Amino acid sequence: IAGITQAPTSQILAAGRRMTLRCTQDMRHNAMYWYRQDLGLGLRLIHYSNTAGTTGKGEVPDGYSVSRANTDDFPLTLASAVPSQTSVYFCASSDPKGWENTIYFGEGSWLTVV
């Protein structure tokens, strides 16, 4: 089944460690996104990429970095994890056509920083 694959599905990480969340999509979508979801705050955009080779900052980019070397992959890196980065992370992708821009989400990566 086509879609978005995230890894790992869950992880407990010591504060100060580096961590990369992986995201791969097989829909050949141009745009990809990383959101974090915290209780009571909904989903907040961390970083995005409109097309391979380009990235941009979202609402909450501090402490995170991304790269987009090709169309399919969009990894999210926490350079030095802190407890406030405990969250559920969702990767998403879309292929804007005209006014329609359906964004598809992965199943999430549950990260706990201790």
Partner 1 sequence: GESVGLHLPTLSVQEGDNSIINCAYSNSASDYFIWYKQESGKGPQFIIDIRSNMDKRQGQRVTVLLNKTVKHLSLQIAATQPGDSAVYFCADTTDSWGKLQFGAGTQVVVTP
Q: Using DSSP, state whether 114 is helix, strand or coil.
A: coil
Fill in the DSSP letter of residue 73. B
The whole-angstrom separation of Cα 71 and Cα 97 is 17
Instruction: Please choose, from the candidates 16, 22, 34, 6, the residue with its C-alpha nearest in 3D space to the C-alpha of residue 113.
Output: 16
Q: Per the structure block, which two tokens stand in for 72?
A: 């399919």
Q: Exactly one of 70, 77, 102, 112 binds partner 1 (CB under 8 A); which one?
A: 102
Does 64 engage in binding with partner 1 (CB under 8 A)?
Answer: no
Query: How many binding residues for partner 1 (CB under 8 A)?
Result: 26
Q: Given the rule CB under 8 A, which of 18-26, 38-46, 62-70, 74-82 is the region that contacts partner 1?
A: 38-46
Please give the residue ranges that form the binding site for partner 1 (CB under 8 A).
Answer: 4, 31, 33, 35, 40-45, 48, 50, 58, 90, 94, 96, 99-108
